[in-house]
């Protein structure tokens, strides 16, 4: 598969002429979901789910379909009957030639006084895992881990330990729009030296073969 990094948490996977997009949120490009055959959304927070970007993708391709959790599906299913599918932990499905397994149930804790919402991660073709806003460890091998490097709910030691627990072949940064350019080399060094996996950081628009 060819993986293209979009801004923040959004990634685009292409294989055999078909395209899958994960988390076209408010920080990602306006056309992040346009051209997608499959759209996956991990949870309802606006940096992962932007209704306008999602609608643009579904309207641009009448055959495109969305797989997501109930909190997102309820907001868009009426406008796209038969094209919005609700999934949860343990589900598996095939879409446009991609095989997807769903892992995880809850968003990471931001603060004890903030109620936790649902969150799912997606493992695509048994290779690329996007956890959304959680440090979910799938119960199966992961070759490429989309790593949420900086968020209000994590710190770098937790991110490093997460890589060590998942044991992927490589990590690729996501959830990084709030990380300043000054901090990026430091994060690269820490994750590369301590995570135990090859670490790669892509600029939005750059691609990588996975």
Number of domains in the chain: 1
| Reported pTM | 0.97
Helix (H) or strand (E) holding 12: strand 11-15
Q: Which residues pair with 138 in a beta bridge?
A: none
Start-to-end CA span in the chain (Å)? 5
**Neighbour tally for 189: CB within 10 Å:** 11
Q: Residue 19 is part of which domain span?
A: 2-209
pLDDT of residue 23: 98
Read off the CATH number of the domain in which 184 is found: 3.60.15.10
Walking along the chain (210 residues) 10 residues at a time, the average pLDDT comes out as 98 98 98 98 98 98 98 97 98 98 98 98 98 98 98 97 98 97 96 97 96
**Neighbour tally for 106: CB within 10 Å:** 15
pLDDT of residue 47: 98
Tokens standing for 170? Answer: 């490589």
pLDDT of residue 82: 97
Number of H helices, E strands in the chain: 4, 14
pLDDT of residue 96: 97
């Amino acid at each position: 598969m060819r993986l293209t990094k979009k801004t923040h948490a959004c990634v685009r996977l292409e294989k055999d002429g078909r395209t899958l997009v994960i988390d076209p949120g408010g920080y990602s490009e306006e056309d992040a979901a346009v051209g997608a055959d499959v759209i996956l959304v991990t949870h309802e927070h606006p940096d992962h789910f932007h209704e306008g970007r999602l609608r643009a993708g579904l309207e641009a391709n009448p055959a495109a379909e969305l797989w997501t959790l109930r909190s997102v599906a309820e907001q868009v299913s009426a406008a796209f009957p038969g094209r919005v599918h609700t999934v949860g932990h343990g589900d598996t499905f095939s879409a446009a030639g991609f095989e997807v397994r769903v892992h995880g149930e809850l968003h990471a804790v931001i603060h004890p006084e903030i109620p936790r919402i649902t969150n799912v991660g997606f493992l695509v073709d048994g290779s690329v895992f996007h956890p959304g806003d959680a440090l979910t460890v799938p119960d199966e091998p992961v070759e490429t881990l989309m790593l949420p490097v900086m968020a209000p709910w994590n710190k770098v030691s937790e991110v490093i330990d997460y890589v060590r627990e998942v044991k992927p072949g490589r990590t690729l940064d996501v959830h990084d729009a709030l990380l300043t350019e000054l901090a990026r080399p430091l994060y690269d060094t820490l994750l590369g030296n301590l995570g135990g996996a090859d670490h790669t950081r892509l600029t939005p628009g750059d691609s990588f073969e996975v």
